[in-house]
Amino acid sequence: MHASLHWPLPALHSFTPAFESLGLAIHWLTLGLVLLATLAVGVCVHELLHVVPLHLTDASYTVTVLPAEEPTSRTTWATLQHAFSSGLVRVEVTHLRPTTPDWMVRVAALLPLALALPLGLVVAGVLPNPVTTGDDVVTVALVALTGCGLPSPADWSVVWNGASRWRDQ
């Protein structure tokens, strides 16, 4: 009678490998997006953390978003490529008061190390370890954020030389 109702349905377990592969692909895509987003935000926060102590000393500085060498000759794609290779935000000190203590300039250079604080709290046992809990997303974000807190060679130069770079000008 209703022969169309009795056609053989494929077993649901035959679709399982396809669903597992799709789930794995989505998981890796999510990890990649979390990594990129954390790096983008972390690099911006790194640069802006330099400004906090400098602002307290009444230093003059400029903050440039998506810096470009020659802004008029660049296309949008070239600007984005330059931003990914040299930073999304650039902070430049234009004037430093002679009364600014060297230790304050050195603190400004090292302040982005605060981005490694979450990893320190995990190591100290204050925060749960995302590796042992199996939370891959938090692990990727934690590692990326910690990497953003590492001082650049320019930061180390300021740590070792202090404010002499700006006072000589």
CB atoms under 10 Å from CB of 10, counted, come to 7
pLDDT given at position 168: 47
Distance CA 92, CA 64 (A): 8
The pLDDT assigned to 130 comes to 94
Q: Name the residue type at position 54.
A: L
Report pLDDT for 96.
83
Neighbours of 120 (CB within 10 A): 13
- The residue written with tokens 């001082």 in the block is 151
Q: Residue 147: its pLDDT value, please?
A: 94
Task: State which residues of the chain have pLDDT below 50.
Answer: 1, 12, 168-169
**Res 116: pLDDT:** 95
* β partners of residue 92: 62
Check residue 32 and give its pLDDT.
94
pLDDT for the residue numbered 91: 81
Q: Do the strands 60-65 and 89-95 form a parallel or antiparallel pair, or are they unpaired? A: antiparallel
User: Token pair 């807190």 is at which residue?
Assistant: 149
- Of 153, 147, 130, 137, nearest to 41 by C-alpha is 147
Query: How high is the pLDDT of residue 121?
Result: 96
Contact 155, 54 (CB under 8 A): no
pTM: 0.75
pLDDT at 29: 94
> Quick one: pLDDT at residue 86?
63
CA distances from 117 to 26, 47, 48, 127, 156 (A): 30, 16, 17, 11, 19
DSSP code, position 68: -
Which tokens go with 107? 């603190």
Residue-level pLDDT at 62: 83
